[in-house]
Amino acid sequence: MAHSIETMISEAELQAQVVKLAAEIDKDYTEQDNLLLVGLLKGSVLFMADLCRAMKTPISMDFMNVSSYGAGTESSGDVKVLKDLDQDIKGRHILIVEDIIDTGNTLNKVVEMLKLRDPASLKIASLLDKPSRRVVNVPVDYIGFEIPDEFVIGYGLDWAEKYRDLPFIGKVIQQG
């Protein structure tokens, strides 16, 4: 289908906000917390790479890949773990890093799952938030940008696996 990409959040805006979030997170953790960033694959990869480099607090990284989509484009409450964490998180300080919170279904399930493993603390950082779409309430501790209900791509977010590599957030404009 013919389409074009329109910039919603520029590279400079993204980078400035990531630096702000990093400073907020730095205020809340110390080196002694031995913070573990848990990135949700694949959308969070670019955000996490920039965020941890902007932070002063030393971190470790791990990744999880969960899929909450059935056949449709709407996430369901049904979350499948495609790749679990490599390590035990009991007693660890965890910060989940996500690209976008939409219905909240994905994060809600991930939080439920990780809480059962008894971490010392569990917080969430999401680059984007579409509050108008929320179905399940999930407390997000650090939010980069609130955006309207539009399908966005770039900076980790994809449309059928494309556009993750764009350095800005754009929206897809369908033509015809």
Q: How far is the CB of 101 from ligand IMP (least distance, A)?
A: 5
Active-site residue, from 50, 99, 102, 129: 102
Question: Which of 93, 19, 89, 12 minimizes the C-alpha distance to 56?
Answer: 19
Residue 43 or 154: the one with the smaller Cβ distance to Mg ion is: 43
Report which residue type is found at 142: Y
Tell me, residue by residue from 5 to 34, as one string, x for binding to ligand IMP by CB under 6 A and - for no binding: ------------------------------
Ramachandran quadrant class, 93 (left: phi over 0; alpha: psi -120 to 50; beta: rest): beta
Show the tokens assigned to 57: 């607090």
Q: Using the rule CB under 6 A, is 75 a contact of ligand IMP? A: yes
Of 48 and 101, which CB lies nearer to ligand IMP in the complex structure?
101
Q: Is 102 a catalytic residue?
A: yes
- Secondary structure of the chain: what % helix, strand, coil (to 5)? 25, 40, 35
Cα(147)–Cα(129) distance, integer angstroms: 6
50 binds, among Mg ion, ligand IMP, none (CB under 5 to 8 A by kind): none
Binding site for Mg ion (CB under 5 A): 43
Q: Which residues contact 48 (CB under 8 A, 6 or more apart)?
A: 37, 39, 61, 97
The neighbouring-strand residues paired with 100 are 128
Binding-residue pattern over the window 104 to 143 for ligand IMP, x denoting contact by CB under 6 A: xxx-------------------------------------
Per CB under 6 A, the list member of 35, 152, 166, 169 interacting with ligand IMP is 152
For the bound state, the minimum distance from the C-beta of residue 42 to Mg ion, rounded and expressed in Å, comes to 7
Across 97-110, b (16+ Cβ under 10 Å) vs e yields: bbbbbbbbbbbbbb
CB closer to ligand IMP, 29 vs 125: 125
Binding footprint of ligand IMP on the chain (CB under 6 A): 43, 68, 75, 98-106, 151-153, 157
